[in-house]
Amino acid sequence: MTASTPILTFGRLLDNAAKTWPDRDAIIFPERRQTFAELYQQADHRARQLIGLGVQPGDHVGILLPTGMEFVEVMFGIWLAGAIMVPINARYRSNEIAYLTENADLVTIVTTGDVAEGLNFVNRLYEGLPGVSDAADPWALSIEGAPKLRNIVMLGEGTAPGIVAEADALGTTGNIAPSDIETRRDAVVGDDIAMILYTSGTTSNPKGCLISGAALIQNGRALAEVYEMTGDDSFWSPLPMFHIAATFPMAACFDIGCAYITMGFFEPAAALKLLADTKATITYPCFITIISDMVNHPDWETADLSHARVMNISPGLQPAALIEKIEAKMPDCIMVGTFGLSEAAGSVCSHKVSDSRDVRHGRLGGPLPGQEVRIIHPETGEDQPVLEQGEILVRGPNILKGYYKDPVKTAEAIDSDGWLHTGDTGSLDENNQIMFHGRIKDMLKVGGENVAAAEIESLLQEHDAVKMAQIVSAPHERLVEVPAAFIELEDGASATEEELIAFCKGKISSFKIPRYVRFVDEWPMSTSKIQKYKLRDQIAAEIR
């Protein structure tokens, strides 16, 4: 690889940053920070642990950790070891973890014990993967529901039956030479899969998006270009590490040598203090749930946010009163928008900081460098005229390679010309700026999290009293959308709203649990389908 060849793998990206800017801050948490050199050293340490556990190049390694320095170290350790990182949503319940572990063919899971009150990852693994807790050999598991899983390692000082303790894993690293790590690191190429990211689809189970290192890193470079980022910037994002919108901005930062600032759990007062203390220049709250909590917090008025020059909040989609408060507090900060999805390694369209206010407050931006966007008629497949709505199609180096072990869904999503059919409805203006109008796919977006209606419907229909369940979105001031359930009961059966909500608790993530349950005797129908939009209108009118 020559100096002029762009780096397209995460192992090489961190190696280059550690050599070029060894003493610059790479990662900043409220109580802890690491330079690029320190992070590389710790990632190398984690890679050795993984190799000692038996991880081979190309193996799939799951991370079930809270957002913290250890997550970053393990993530880059996986990449230095030549393996593939599979982040596990920290909000997943035991059955969701079990599905991902089997479907993703995980060979190792890196986790920890108690995280917060009521949250213990080891207990969730025990519940989802029966047989772990009484395994004879934690180094060589044999789990019926997860045949590829060889071991689980628990970071920290604790121990747990059937799980390899970090102290024991440390004992395996002594015979691993530095050249072993370098060989594995440099054998990876940009087109190789770096991450399998599970995202909810319109089916009941999430799908594993195969994302290459090149897709994520090039998307990061494109973001840095439109934000005009330099090594003097610092990038604050409160999004969890298991989210795609944490990975590619981190790539942008590491590519130019600026710090990535984040926090374990979002809390508005702590976020405002962190922004002020670090003098962050790029702010990436993304979702209204985050920025509204900050703006409405008592500390908003006194926090020093004068260093922020860019905020990604998609102002055209937010309430005018919220935008007015931000502009009054931060008159020199440029608010930008974005359109993206997991299947496109995060972002597809974004504003440039040089775009006018009218453009930034009325659209979601144009295609990022290297990416193409089309709007087609959903039935004819023909390109739509300017400002006409249709399905959003995306093509470029950022597109997923496919869905893991699902060639049918892959063929449905990516056509023979390489266009990803997003299932989203949008339009383009005369300047190729995109507007988002909704989802063709039967999806909800609860506080920024994708939720498949079919998953909740399937669960509710397991209840003895439920004949049919339909899930639609209900408006919510903070989360934008929340699930609402419409239920047809079996003849002679009875159930209450409270009973069905309680039935869901503990079986799916809390944000997927219906906030409302309504009962119907007859469904609004088209020729052959339930007209969900009528159900959506009904619940919206009722709760307003």
Tell whether 459 is covered by a domain. Answer: yes
Residue 153 lies in a domain: yes
Q: Which amino acid, 64?
A: L
Distance set, CA 224 to CA 18, 114, 234, 244, 397 (Å) = 19, 37, 11, 16, 16
Looking at the domain assignment, is residue 54 inside a domain? yes
Is the same domain home to 115 and 183?
yes
Task: Identify the DSSP state of 362.
Answer: T
What is residue 527's predicted lDDT score, i.e. its pLDDT? 52
Is 397 inside a domain boundary? no
pLDDT of 425: 87
- Both 364 and 488 in one domain: the answer is no
Domain count, the chain: 3
179 and 218 inside one domain: no
Quote the domain boundaries for residue 243. 212-385+416-439
Q: Could you tell me if residue 123 is inside a domain?
A: yes
The CATH number assigned to the domain holding 310 equals 3.40.50.12780
pLDDT confidence of residue 1: 45
What is the reported pLDDT for 201? 56
- pLDDT at res. 289: 82
Long-range contacts of the stretch 534-541 (C-beta < 8 A, 24+): 535/470, 535/472, 535/484, 535/486, 536/472, 536/473, 536/474, 536/484, 539/472, 539/474, 539/484, 540/474, 540/475
Are the beta carbons of 18 and 27 closer than 8 angstroms? no
Helices (H), 3-120: 10-20, 36-52, 69-80, 94-103
Query: Would you say residue 103 lies in a domain?
Result: yes
SS3 80: helix
Looking at the fold, whether 377 and 460 belong to one and the same domain comes out as no
pLDDT tens-place string over residues 244-273: 999 999 999 999 999 999 999 999 999 999
User: Mind listing the pLDDT tens digit for each residue in 336-378?
Assistant: 999 999 999 999 999 999 999 999 998 999 999 999 999 999 8
Cα distance between residue 52 and residue 305, in whole Å: 45
Q: Following DSSP, what letter does each residue of 143-170 receive, concatenated?
A: BTTBTT--EEEE-SS--BTTBEEHHHHH
Are 519 and 474 within one domain?
A: yes
Shared domain check, 245 and 381:
yes
Q: Are residues 134 and 235 in the same domain?
A: no
Q: The CATH number of the domain where 464 resides is what?
A: 3.30.300.30
Does residue 431 sit within a domain?
Answer: yes
> Dihedral angle at the C-alpha atoms of 263, 269, 272, 277, nearest 10 degrees?
-70
Do 529 and 425 lie in one domain? The reply is: no
Q: Classify residue 52: in a domain, yes or no.
A: yes
Q: How far is CA 321 from CA 299, 316, 318, in A?
A: 18, 12, 8
98: domain CATH number? Answer: 3.40.50.980
> C-alpha distances in angstroms, 171 versus 79, 116, 168, 176, 356?
21, 29, 5, 11, 58
Question: Which segments in the chain show pLDDT lower than 50?
Answer: 1-3
pLDDT at 2: 42
- Residues 184, 247, single domain; the answer is no
- Same domain (yes/no): 376, 236: yes
Cβ–Cβ < 8 Å for 314, 371:
no
Residues 487, 371, single domain; the answer is no
Q: Residue 163: what are its φ and ψ, rounded to 5°?
A: -125, 135
Judgement on whether residues 295 and 252 belong to the same structural domain of the protein: yes
